[in-house]
Structure 1
């Protein structure tokens, strides 16, 4: 991630090291993983790369991993998250379990967040702090495209705790803005939990995003929470009809932006395709295309949803996904193959998911060798970024690949996906 940040800013190792005030060899060793990222260097890189504390948040996560007596990392332990205090190099430990419980009922009681509240007593929840928190979210979302999602859950949760402590003291004109930002953090946490294969936590953060959106009357996020549940119905259960029902709930919410309605129609199209209803799927896709026509909300990055794929590729991906769910091969290959490079450049995770769909298309087209090659490559990427969605999509190819049980590559793919 550090290398991508540096290259995105057009800096050589020597230039970045000079601006940070360290040896070029140290920068190289940190980027290649041969040396750890020390807090002082993380803070300096945040200033040079203008990443709003993202690098510091990712570096300062000692103690946020699962404890020795946990349940496999699914949120039932008394872990802590380290909350960085804006404008300082200090951090305050907060009980993750107590925080999640308090956020669930919308109340802060007892000793929960007491130390954090005291540490923030002289931090003014103004527009400058709000902008810094938003910049950190942008950086953490970018990190989520190239890093394992479990690595992001601690820093994202810490930011939610920070916003919760600040928004209660924010002046009335800014309070809604802090609440909107908190909902956006919750939405990102729902994605990271889903990709980390933790359904309960994904649903928890989806519920929190919807709750905070209701508080500030942010209808786009209220509707998008139903879109997220539709996605979870597909990634966890492959239940097309449940996906359609959640998408329809999103569409019933009045005065929602065209883009969010397009995402709901797209989910309905996916659901109908999985349920084997091609006509209904095609109709929903047509509705999606009509809603994605450039409008006032086109290109906005403050709307719910992932923005790692260019709009020019979205409809092609949506259509190809429905086609592959319906058993198509050649036309999906023709559509997705030329786009693989651009999609993978925007996000490793999106690239792996799209490769998984392309592998299904090759299997449907009677090309098991090409399908297996893509699956093995996607599995390697999925291991790097840890993507449940990628694994779910890859497993959809298994019933088709079962037509070639004698092939060594089919047996290898079957074994690896089972594992």
Structure 2
């Protein structure tokens, strides 16, 4: 019999008889390892998935990583170890990035975006053009990524006005109302126009929009600023040590107040980027200002950091929320703002409720109620109600719980109602009543809670996002009361709002409702509710 001619791998190794391929086992393992070391090629539709779009809109690369790993296109959730290897990180580093403060090192952001092959037009920072080595170096040196321009249909619409300060131009955000009433229309382009003008200029040009955003705030609506005021703001952002003063701190305050007002309608999906830009500006400018201004600036910063903590709670990122609550406390202490320190303790108590830690929740609420904080009556009312909720969870009698709820009502009735931006101003009679309903649910009286929820929510006085959240709590009370069909119906409506404004906190509550409804899982309304959460 003639000897069978041998077959060889390209590396020179003779192939085994049962190997019908063209590579030896060693080369096959090396090829597989090489493929696993780089991200797979994904279609353009991959980046249009709703959760991926939301992650990119958050300006948080950690959220982008998480959305990438959990994308249904992969067929299964990718481990942090696999993705970390692609990005030249370890698993612990990737975990911190996903759950911590948004990374601001632009060089790293660009490297990670390149590794994952994220389309440049979806990023919130500009990738360098090929062949522009100088531009690349300048861009990579900037610590804060460029914020995307808000869409014109949102309340943040406006333009960017080039204002000349000390012989150089700085782009200052201007809202539509200012443009219409101040005669600045011929000087101001739309956000898109300003971006295009900046792109056409050399990256070193002072009119580059990135030069303003490096030290300033994303384009937000600020009515009532004329040309003189805009020039003053631009000068302050250009030279904080020399120019930043009370009026500019007030500018920061107005940005914060508007973001809070927008949150109820837009949710964290739209509001968080504005807040991160503001806090970046505060953090940067606070290092350069005079001591007399620093305390004013940090007082605004502590308020903004507390609000950022709330936004991260709403998207269920507790580690990031704790980071900003701690920063709010630190800045409030330096600013000698006693009321804000007590307020942060209240917010930490509410976060403990998210985690079902009843004892910590109660002791934090009691600490927040100490007289040393000199809290306004409205906040003291909220603190008293929070203590009642803690006592309900720990099994105190219904009489004790209702007594504290009555105390909270009396405090709220005595609170002045003339400053819409005062600390705790959002805590209204409607908010108190729906939180009373939550307390009654925890006290084992869900049927009483259902009636309270229905009365308040039917009036339509709450914000869009809050209506969605408290409907989730209403669904929970209905489920506990043995009304599965109505609970499922209310839960389905709540889910639609939760996904619209990206309130993961609401989604978590709805998940608990679905568990309560499990014994009725065969009912059509419950099946439809389950599908609304898993779609």
Name the TM-score, length of structure 2 as normaliser: 0.56
1:315 aligns to 2:410 (yes or no) = no
Q: Which residue of 2 aligns with 1:395?
A: 511
How far did residue 335 of structure 1 move?
2.1
**Shift in alpha-carbon separation, 1:274–1:388, aligned structure 2, 3 A:** farther
Distance 1:64 1:391, change over 3 A: closer
Contact 1:240–1:273 (8 Å) recurs in 2: no
CA distance in 2, matches of 1:198, 1:63: 13
Q: 1:268: Cα distance to partner? A: 1.6
The residue that corresponds to 2:472 in the other structure is 356
Q: Which of residues 217, 233, 241 in structure 1 aligns to 2:359?
A: 241
Which stretches in structure 2 are left out of the alignment for 5+ residues?
A: 1-55, 66-86, 88-93, 110-143, 148-159, 164-169, 172-208, 216-234
Distance in 2 (alpha carbons) for counterparts of 1:266 and 1:133: 31
What residue is the counterpart of 1:143 in the other structure?
Answer: 262
What is the CA–CA distance in structure 1 between the aligned matches of 2:381 and 2:162, rounded to whole Å?
37
Whole-Å separation in 2 of the counterparts to 1:396 and 1:85: 49
Q: Compute the displacement of 1:133 (Å).
A: 1.4
- The alpha-carbon distance between structure 1 residues 63 and 356, as it changes in their structure 2 partners (threshold 3 A), is closer
Residues 210 and 321 of structure 1: is their aligned pair in 2 closer, same or farther, counting only changes over 3 Å?
same
Q: What is the deviation of 1:399?
A: 4.9
After superposition, the CA RMSD in angstroms is 3.3
Matches of 1:346 and 1:200, distance apart in 2: 28
- Structure of greater Rg: 2
**Structure 1 residue 366, shift from structure 2 partner:** 2.7
Kindly indicate whether the alpha-carbon contact (under 8 Å) linking 1:223 and 1:260 is maintained by their aligned counterparts in 2: no
CA deviation after TM superposition for structure 1 residue 334, in Å: 2.5
Contact 2:419–2:425 under 8 Å retained in 1? no
CA distance in 1, matches of 2:534, 2:357: 20
Q: Determine if contact 1:349/1:385 at 8 Å carries over to the other structure.
A: yes
Q: Measure the CA separation in 2 of the matches of 1:294 and 1:63.
A: 39
What does the per-residue CA deviation read over 1:384-415, in whole Å, with 9 as the maximum and x for residues that have no partner?
11113322332343454234243132244346
What secondary structure is seen at the aligned counterpart in 2 of 1:238? coil
Change (3 A) 1:166 1:85: farther
Q: Distance in 1 between matches of 2:271 and 2:500?
A: 14
From 181, 196, 199, the equivalent of 2:300 is 181
Quick check: 2:236–2:242 contact (8 Å CA) kept in 1? no
What residue is the counterpart of 2:463 in the other structure? 347
How many angstroms apart in 1 are the aligned matches of 2:456 and 2:260? Answer: 22
Q: 1:223 aligns with which of 334, 337, 342?
A: 342
Residue in structure 2 matched with residue 55 of structure 1 by the alignment: none
Asked whether 1:256 is paired with 2:251, we answer: no
User: Is 1:155 matched up with 2:150?
Assistant: no
CA contact (8 A) 1:186 1:206 kept: yes
Contact (CA 8 Å) 1:81, 1:154: kept in 2 or not?
Answer: no
| Higher RCO (Cα < 8 Å, 6 or more apart) | 1
Q: How big is the shift at 1:341?
A: 4.6
Q: 1:401 to 1:184 in 2, by over 3 A?
A: same
Task: Give the Cα–Cα distance (whole angstroms) in 2 for the partners of residues 414 and 334 of structure 1.
Answer: 25
Q: Deviations over 1:250-307 (max 9, x none)?
A: 12351332222222222222222233334343233233223212235x4434444462
Per the alignment, do residues 257 and 142 of structure 1 end up closer, same or farther by CA in structure 2, a change over 3 Å counting? Answer: closer
CA distance in 2, matches of 1:148, 1:256: 27
Q: Work out whether residues 85 and 120 of structure 1, in 8 Å CA contact, stay in contact via their aligned partners in 2.
A: no
User: What is the SS of the residue equivalent to 1:197?
Assistant: coil
Residue aligned with 1:314, SS: helix
| Partner Cα distance (2:252, 2:508) in 1 | 33
Name the count of aligned residue pairs: 334
Question: Does the residue aligned with 2:264 lie in a helix, a strand or coil?
Answer: coil
Structure 1 residues 301 and 278: alpha-carbon distance in aligned structure 2, compared to 1, 3 A threshold:
farther
> In terms of mean alpha carbon deviation, does 323-332 or 374-383 score higher?
323-332
Shift in Å, 1:247: 0.7
Single out whichever of 323-332 and 163-172 deviates more from structure 2: 163-172
Asked if the contact 2:484/2:517 (under 8 Å) is kept, the reply is: yes
SS of residue matched to 1:144: helix
